[in-house]
């Protein structure tokens, strides 16, 4: 910011911080004067796209948010659903895209740290992390570097903090070359009655900051880095935060002990916009005011200005409100856990955010102006008249036969084994994990005497072909993964990754995708409990594929009956379950052939798909199914090959060996195996488990050659 402490910043300063000229005028109108340096910094952050969702909030209000098991919904740090016996599972997914494109290790690591804080901020103990990643093609040196460092950052933070990374997904597509996506999802478990909300309350109560000291890392991240397109010459590395998982571990234990002892009125993590967002949002939700004295904030750098302290995004910090009589005990617990608790302010009845430096008032803003009156914009969606994305580079001859196609698809970046990546994560710490990556379509964790299944999914290429239907497919794919382990969906969280919403074609993608998410959730009876929106994911080469990532949590009564993905027993029947109408458009085979994206995807019978999911789920719960795998990328042929490889056993299937084997209809159909009499009623018997080869009609492949193809990514990521 160019203005000195004694000079009022100008409208040009406001524009440099991400506000428009009209928004700056609105700030002046709400204050009745021009904002000073502290105030402008705070408005620029809270009115940024990253914090205010000013281009998406109206759309998000159309999503279904009520459900019989809902405990905590949108508007809190994380959503939560009831899993019985007085317990609730909290979960949320968020993005750290722009920071990861600038500095992938710290960008991804602090993304994990931030989503974990959202979980324990409501009083739930974090028990798992999943990640959803998108990069350019692995032939790109830059993409391999971003992937390598992002995976290392996720592993470093999760492994160090002691929370298992139990699942996720990685896709490679050219439109993510400049702007990678790093979405992190976390889950936690807590007593339903003891979950806490973030609203500040009680005039005269004390505001306490605890955790790491405050520095200049992350300043401007929400407004400058996360609410604008990435330019070719931008130097935004200073806006990337630096994380410390060992500090976070202490923060988790301290926060949960403070809540267990009943010492806190409210609790909030410091994420994007730091003290500015945490304090202002607590005040807004509680309909109170808050005074903060920045001279009391523990600093790493002694010469920080008040505005820097208020907008710093230094990691591993929490803000809480406690009654005056509890302050000494709160600070004593902070000292025990070595997290530097400091009383920095108080709750007031002014409905203003007032920032002091000792006795000097350096900022005074109505809470409503900061948080509630941020301008919300109507989108101007317009279906594009021409193709937005170039055809992918051809990697497979168009005259290749089915035998060659299957091996090529198994070796393709979006289907090949992710083992070299997920083996960098500790998936077992905490001793709750009963189905690990590649063992089942969804991860399974024990919770008391029951279990939960969790999955995360999305397909940017299919959403690019048809935003409405592609978004529906993302929800169905997630629900199908849960059905494979016998889990009934209880709630959904989403991360909407899109380009610049001020452009009509991006506004159309976003609007149609949200409409699809809403219709799919209503059809399945699954509420949206919260999520995240990441816009302006564009670089010099254009926008990313529109990528709504969906995370879903479900409940199952018996973890031991969760079906594995791989075939389990010689002689078992293989049954195709579902009304399956696959198409090659937007499929992995179409990508390998270099085909343009189709203009739309086939309509989906949501009622029929839900009935299919319910039938598979019931059969898994009844113990009738020994393996269950949904048919996704690569169609039936790839699904059969994966079942063989994961079970280390062959199969003989009867479909004709032609390119129809590779058509796709995500979330609509399953391959299940088991005793013939037990599973034949589920659908059409198409084969038998057994031998050391996969046979499909007249074609056959040895397990060894399937395994060699499926391991194609390993040399790239040793």
Could you report the per-residue pLDDT of 66-106, keeping only the tens digit for each? 999 999 999 899 999 999 889 999 999 999 898 899 899 99
pTM comes to: 0.94
Sign, CA dihedral 239-242-247-253, equals positive
Distance CA 280, CA 679 (A): 56
pLDDT in tens, 501-552: 999 999 999 999 999 999 999 999 999 999 999 999 998 888 999 999 999 9
* Cβ atoms 520, 557 nearer than 8 A: no
Cα dist. 696→59, 668, 702 in Å?
Answer: 46, 21, 12
CB atoms within 10 A of CB 291: 19
> Angle formed by the axes of helices 606-621 and 504-524, to 10°?
50
**pLDDT for position 717:** 63
> Angle formed by the axes of helices 274-286 and 37-46, to 10°?
70
**pLDDT for position 235:** 45
Q: What tokens were used for 365? A: 């803003």
- From the list 50, 156, 505, 613, the catalytic residue is 50
Give catalytic status of residue 340 as yes or no. Answer: no
Residue 489 phi/psi, 5° resolution?
A: -65, 135
Contacts for 609 with CB less than 8 Å, ≥ 6 apart: 476, 578, 667, 668
Q: What tokens were used for 243? A: 């994380």
Q: Which helix (H) or strand (E) holds 171?
A: strand 165-172
* Cβ atoms 293, 358 nearer than 8 A: yes
> Angle formed by the axes of helices 467-484 and 504-524, to 10°?
40
**pLDDT for position 216:** 87
pLDDT in tens, 284-311: 999 999 999 999 999 998 889 999 999 9
Q: What tokens were used for 334? A: 């902070």
Contacts for 235 with CB less than 8 Å, ≥ 6 apart: none
Distance CA 370, CA 28 (A): 12
| Long-range contacts (CB closer than 8 Å, 24 or more residues apart) made by 656-661 | 656/697, 657/402, 657/403, 657/696, 657/697, 657/698, 657/699, 658/402, 659/402, 659/405, 659/584, 659/589, 660/582, 660/635, 661/402, 661/406, 661/635, 661/636, 661/637, 661/696
Give catalytic status of residue 55 as yes or no. Answer: no
Sheet harboring 450-457: ordered strands across?
433-435, 443-447, 450-457, 547-556, 488-497, 528-534
CATH code of the region 573-716 = 3.90.650.10
Which residue ranges does the chain devote to CATH 3.90.650.10? 11-55+196-372, 573-716
- From the list 55, 96, 352, 629, the catalytic residue is 96
Please identify every stretch of the chain with a pLDDT value under 50, giving residue numbers as ranges. Answer: 1-5, 221-238
**pLDDT for position 5:** 47
**pLDDT for position 301:** 87
CATH top-level class of 11-55+196-372: alpha beta
DSSP β-bridge partners for residue 701: 694
């Amino acid at each position: 910011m160019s203005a000195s402490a004694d000079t009022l910043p100008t409208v040009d300063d406001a524009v440099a911080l991400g506000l428009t000229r009209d928004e700056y005028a609105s700030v002046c109108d709400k204050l009745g004067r021009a904002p000073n340096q502290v105030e402008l910094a705070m408005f620029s952050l809270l009115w940024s796209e990253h914090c205010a969702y000013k281009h998406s909030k109206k759309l998000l209000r159309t999503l279904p948010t009520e459900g019989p098991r809902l405990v905590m919904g949108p508007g809190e740090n994380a959503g939560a659903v009831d899993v019985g016996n007085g317990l609730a599972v909290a979960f949320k997914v968020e993005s750290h895209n722009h920071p990861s494109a600038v500095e992938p290790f710290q960008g991804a690591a602090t993304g994990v740290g931030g989503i974990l804080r959202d979980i324990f901020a409501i009083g739930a103990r974090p028990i798992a992390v999943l990640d959803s990643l998108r990069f350019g093609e692995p032939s790109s040196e830059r993409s391999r570097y971003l992937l390598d460092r992002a995976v290392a950052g996720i592993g470093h933070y999760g492994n160090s903090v002691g929370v298992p990374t139990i699942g996720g997904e990685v896709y490679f597509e050219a439109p993510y070359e400049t702007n990678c996506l790093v979405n992190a999802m976390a889950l936690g478990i807590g007593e339903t009655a003891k979950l806490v909300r973030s609203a500040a309350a009680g005039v005269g109560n004390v505001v306490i900051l605890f955790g790491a000291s405050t520095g200049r890392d992350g300043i401007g991240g929400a407004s400058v880095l996360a609410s604008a397109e990435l330019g070719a010459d931008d130097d935004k590395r200073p806006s990337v935060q630096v994380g410390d998982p060992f500090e976070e571990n202490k923060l988790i234990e301290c926060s949960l002990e403070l809540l267990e002892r009943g010492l806190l009125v409210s609790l909030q993590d410091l994420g994007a916009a730091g003290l500015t967002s945490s304090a202002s949002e607590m005040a807004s939700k509680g309909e109170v005011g808050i005074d903060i004295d920045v001279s009391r904030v523990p600093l790493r750098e002694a010469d920080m200005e008040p505005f820097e302290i208020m907008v710093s995004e230094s990691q591993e910090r929490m803000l809480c409100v406690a009654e005056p009589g509890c302050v000494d005990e709160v600070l004593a617990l902070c000292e025990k856990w070595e997290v530097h608790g400091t009383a920095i302010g108080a709750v007031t009845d002014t409905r203003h955010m007032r920032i002091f430096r000792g006795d000097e008032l350096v900022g005074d803003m109505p809470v409503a102006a900061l948080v509630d009156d941020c301008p919300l914009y109507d989108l101007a969606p317009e279906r594009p008249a021409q193709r937005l994305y170039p055809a992918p580079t051809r990697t497979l001859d168009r005259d290749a036969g089915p035998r060659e196609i299957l091996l090529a698809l198994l070796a393709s970046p979006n289907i090949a084994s992710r083992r070299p990546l997920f083996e960098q994560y500790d998936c077992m710490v905490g001793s709750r994990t009963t189905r690990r990556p590649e063992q089942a379509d969804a991860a399974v964790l024990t919770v008391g005497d029951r279990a939960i299944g969790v999955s995360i999914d999305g397909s940017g290429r299919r959403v690019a072909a048809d935003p409405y239907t592609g978004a529906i497919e993302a929800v169905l794919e997630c629900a199908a993964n849960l059905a494979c382990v016998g889990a009934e969906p209880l709630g959904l969280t989403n991360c909407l990754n899109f380009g610049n919403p001020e452009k009509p074609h991006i506004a159309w993608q976003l609007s149609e995708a949200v409409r699809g998410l809403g219709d799919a959730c209503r059809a399945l009876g699954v509420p949206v409990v919260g999520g995240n929106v990441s816009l302006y994911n564009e670089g010099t080469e254009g926008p990313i594929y529109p990528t709504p990532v969906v995370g879903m949590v479900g409940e199952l009564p018996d973890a031991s009956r969760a079906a594995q993905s791989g075939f389990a027993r010689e002689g078992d029947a293989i049954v195709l379950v579902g009304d399956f109408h696959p198409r090659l458009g937007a499929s992995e085979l179409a990508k390998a052939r270099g085909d343009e994206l189709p203009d739309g995807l086939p309509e989906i019978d949501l009622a029929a798909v839900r009935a299919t999911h319910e039938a598979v789920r019931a059969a898994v719960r009844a113990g009738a199914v020994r393996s269950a795998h949904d048919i996704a990328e690569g169609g039936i042929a790839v699904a059969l090959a994966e079942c063989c490889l994961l079970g280390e056993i062959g199969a003989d299937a009867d479909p004709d060996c032609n390119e129809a084997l590779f058509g796709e209809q995500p979330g609509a159909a399953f391959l299940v195996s088991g005793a013939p009499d037990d599973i034949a009623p589920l659908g059409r018997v198409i084969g038998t488990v057994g031998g050391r080869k996969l046979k499909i009609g007249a074609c056959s492949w040895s397990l060894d050659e399937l395994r060699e193809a499926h391991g194609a990514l390993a040399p790239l990521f040793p």
